[in-house]
Amino acid sequence: MKSENAKLYLASSNDTARRNPFGVMDVPHPDDDDVMRFARNTMPEESAADENAEPWSAGDGYPHGSIEGRWSSRWKGAADPTIPGDTPDKWKQGRGEARIVGDRVYLLFDWDSGRRRGLIEARREGAHRLIGKYINLNNPEITVPWVGLVVNYRRIDGYFSQGRVDFRR
């Protein structure tokens, strides 16, 4: 019997030629013109007033020295039509995991009690900036540019054109 965490990270196909370390569908064209344009116009800065600044996850109490590992995740800015009563202003919370491969950061996360999953593939730009794209693994037609600010090993502020995809521990 697989643990709950193992279920989150199961591969979506038997294809082993994947860029991402999770074995799920890759993000298509994570460095395309839309991503670069969004990154030029999106410059998040650390702020104590940011809506991700206040702790909203239980945290694991483990002193992390890297962004790799388990996270809590949440997003808002669009409605998920599979969730009754969902609206763009409601946070959808779940679990996440970050893995680093070279200059790439992969963030796999879920919501709706694990029934929905997304993947972000981003490249590092300096020590604190991540630039890439998100794919909805349950509805792969949905892809959007994403920019993240690594505030510290416990907080990543993430932005897409309609809202946020944030990570905390």
Task: Please give the pLDDT value at position 3.
Answer: 39
Report H helices in 15-114: 33-41
Identify the weakest region by mean pLDDT among 8-12, 97-101, 164-168. Answer: 8-12
**Average pLDDT estimate for 119-123:** 98
For residue 132, the number of C-alpha atoms closer than 13 Å in the C-beta half-sphere is 24
pLDDT for 6 equals 40
Q: Which residue bears the tokens 């030029």?
A: 40
* pLDDT tops 50 at residue 62: yes
pLDDT value of residue 132: 98
Q: What pLDDT does 61 receive?
A: 64
How many percent of the chain have pLDDT more than 90? 78
* CA-to-CA dists, residue 7 to 2, 3, 11, 16, 91, angstroms: 6, 6, 9, 18, 22
* Confidence (pLDDT) at 92: 97
Alpha-carbon distance of 57 to 29, in angstroms, equals: 31
Which tens digit of pLDDT belongs to each residue from 32-61?
999 999 999 999 999 999 998 988 887 776
CB 154 within 8 A of CB 65: no
Closest CA to 30 of 95, 112, 111, 119: 119
Tell me what pLDDT residue 64 has: 78
